[in-house]
Amino acid sequence: MAKNKVEKKDFKPKKSGSYSAESITVLEGLEPVRRRPGMYIGTTGPDGLHHLVTEIFDNSRDEAMGGFANRVEIAFLPDNYIRVTDNGRGIPVDIHKQTKVSALETIMTTLHAGGKFGGDGYKVSGGLHGVGASVVNALSIFMRVEVYKDGGIYVQEYSKGKRKAAVKKIGNSKEHGTIITFKPDIEIFKNIDLDFNRVVHHMRQQAYLVKGLKISVLDLREVKTKIKETEIIYLKDLKIEAPSMTFKFDGGLTSLIKFYNHNQKPIHKNIFYVEKMTNESSGESVEVALQYVNDITARIMPFANNIYQSEGGTHITGFKTALTRTLNNYAKKNNITKNGEDAFTGDDVLEGLTVVVSVKLREIQFEGQTKAKLGSVEARGMVESVFGEAFDIFLEENPEDAKAIINKVVLALRARKAAKAAKDSILRKGALEGMTLPGKLADCQSKSAEESELFIVEGDSAGGTAKTGRDRKTQAILPLRGKILNIERARLDRMLASEQIKNLVVALGTAIGDTFDIEKLRYHKVIIATDADVDGAHIRTLILTLLYRYFRPLIDGGYIYIAQPPLYKIKKGKEIFYAYSDDEKAKIIGRPSADIEDFENIPDADVEIEEESENNAVQTKTTSAAGRKISVQRYKGLGEMNAEELWETTMDPSRRILKQINVIEASEADDIFDVLMGSDVPSRKSFIQSNAKLATLDI
């Protein structure tokens, strides 16, 4: 048999071309941050923008954690400036031996420079990388730092991470602390409008985590009062009339548990709490507070050095291990359960649990600069030991509370067993992936999740219109018939018995529960499109609550959106405009010409109005003073639009308006849903009475 002949060819590399030492780019100073901001703040979207405020606040918060400050203020100033003030020690301003310039300038203009790498600066801190302040400086078009220290006032200004001048002393003062004022660079973020409520939400959380720390947040964007630059002062003390929130909690994590459970019904009286220093010299400690409520979901809030980890980490692993072991031991010891199949699982003991786990570590490791997951190995053992021992004592010393907790977990165990067959029929490994896509789903042609969109549409009528008007290549349509199941107190097996929820789960492709896998998500934009009325808002809230409770990673990943359909279709002669609010409608009607780009100082048109009904929609016919006929159609639902209108206003990527849902908005929807749909009647009655005047009824 002849052997195969292999032809041997010499490898001939391509010519080197222009690849030489001159091809190597060396980025100096903070230029790497401006070139690749995502490496340092995760994203240049809203999350990254708000992360700037967090980074500067963290430095002030670390001063408070060390016992050097007790007050921090965050002020929103006109023209998108942010001002953060604390009464800590003040950033050092003396000359740094290594850099030969002021320590202040070194910290603000050099990566990995700070007092958090060892020495006596901080025992524990959140800003372990030493890049926070300098990164914010690099991504700001303007930054000014005022330091009050050792009887003097020192100032330095920067732009895009570079100093404008050397640090200079501008006066004397008995005060101590730091004021940092900055403005995010529009070239980096595109949109630099910060969300006041989002910052308030974060600062409230931080106030619970640092006992006795007073945190104020002020919205002064509409205030024209000038602030003196040579005097450390809290703007809150100026008594300026503006939106503001101030937080100070001496109860720490116990107060935080009460806040999270304010709309829930606790099943035991005493909140468990433990705080223990594990290393006096380094300041390392473990703090845990928990309470079970009459609910089926778990609320777990993990913190490391007061930074929230949305993805958990080693401290949560240690907590879950100790919780499961301690409750199993207690139940066995009291002859409530036996070994084997009667043992509690991790899911059993987490049902209805609200817990905050906070660790403080000297040498801490996060996974990534955004610090979403704790990686420090020693945290697991610390939490497992401290919490396990203290929780065991709590159960022994509080038999009534222990009985209530064990009964709650036993109920979860029995429900799990009773539901196992139903769950297995749908959730067994690979089952959802193998199921046929629901018949009501009009899928898109593309198999690329990155370019595919799923519209969850209210009603068959709107669904039919959307199917006709969509881009078939990238847009899929799933109509929902009426309101989906209230999942607030429904277990997973009952949820999946609902045809509409099962259709949604199958369409998403991720599965649900134990088999959830975000990598199998079939669409990277999931868009909720409901009518602009009370029923539409209710359906939207139901869907958001479902996603928040069972598909939280989709919200964390930025995959969930709300469509913003127009409220009005306006015809002015032969021209057609769409208005998304009553104000926009008024401006379009009042404009004498077709050019509506500038709505300022437009006089209202002199019109006569006549209303009539057409296709269940309100038609308003008007005539302007100039004799032009104007008609205004009020859309009562998506189904009243034809396919072309729905595409132009709601589905066309080049013209539509989408609102991306974040965790705060989803949790607020969940909280409201707890009140309106839960079992706490007094809370629901109070909410309705307090907010009735704010309701807009479209009757």
How far apart are the C-alpha atoms of 293 and 308, rounded to whole Å? 22
Chain-centre distance for alpha carbon 438: 31
**C-beta separation of 203 from 217 below 8 A:** yes
Compute the Cα dihedral for 579, 584, 590, 594 and give only its sign.
negative
Distance separating alpha carbons of residues 453 and 522, to the nearest angstrom: 9
**Could you give the 3-state DSSP secondary structure of residue 264?**
coil
Q: Which of 531, 640, 648, 670 is the catalytic position?
A: 531
How far from each other are the two terminal CA atoms of the chain, in whole angstroms? Answer: 91
**Cα 585 from chain centre:** 32
Q: Which of 559, 563, 607 is nearest to 585 (CA)?
A: 607
Question: Is 10 in the active site?
Answer: no
Q: How far apart are CA 92 and CA 102, in angstroms?
A: 8
Q: Residues 6 or more apart from 519 whose CB is under 8 A from it? A: none
Whether 533 is catalytic is: yes
The dihedral through the CA atoms of 372, 377, 382, 388 has a sign that is positive
* Token pair in block for residue 250: 């001496």
**DSSP-derived secondary structure letter, 102:** B
- Which segments of 334-459 does DSSP mark as H helices, in order? 346-350, 377-397, 399-427, 431-434
Catalytic residue among 458, 648, 670, 674: 458
Confirm if 288 and 387 have CB atoms less than 8 A apart.
yes
Q: What torsion, rounded to 10 degrees, do the Cα atoms 415, 420, 423, 425 define? A: -150
Beta-strand runs (E) in 459-589: 475-480, 525-529, 560-563, 568-572, 575-579
> Tokens 């219109």 identify what position?
465
Extract the runs of DSSP E, i.e. beta strands, from 194-234: 214-219
| Alpha carbons 575 and 523: distance in angstroms, whole number | 36
User: Percent helix, strand and coil across the chain, each rounded to 5?
Assistant: 40, 20, 40
- Which residues lie closer than 8 Å to 72 by C-beta, 6 or more apart? 57, 60, 61, 64, 84, 85, 86, 213, 214, 215, 216
Distance CA 99, CA 226 (A): 36
State whether residue 195 is helix, strand or coil. Answer: coil
The catalytically annotated residue of 535, 556, 668, 671 is: 535
531 an active-site residue? Answer: yes
Strands 658-660 and 177-184: unpaired
Contact indicator for 566, 646 with CB cutoff of 8 Å? no
Alpha-carbon distance of 670 to 490, in angstroms, equals 14
Q: Is 535 a catalytic residue?
A: yes
Cross-strand bridge partners of residue 571: 576, 631
Q: Which of 275, 311, 533, 556 is catalytic?
A: 533
Are 124 and 361 in contact, with CB atoms under 8 Å apart?
yes
Instruction: Quickly count: other Cβ atoms within 10 Å of residue 19's Cβ.
Output: 10
Structure tokens at 434: 């193998």
Please give the Cα distance from 243 to 628 (Å, whole number).
Answer: 43
Closest CA to 298 of 357, 358, 347, 263: 347
**Residues noted as catalytic:** 458, 531, 533, 535
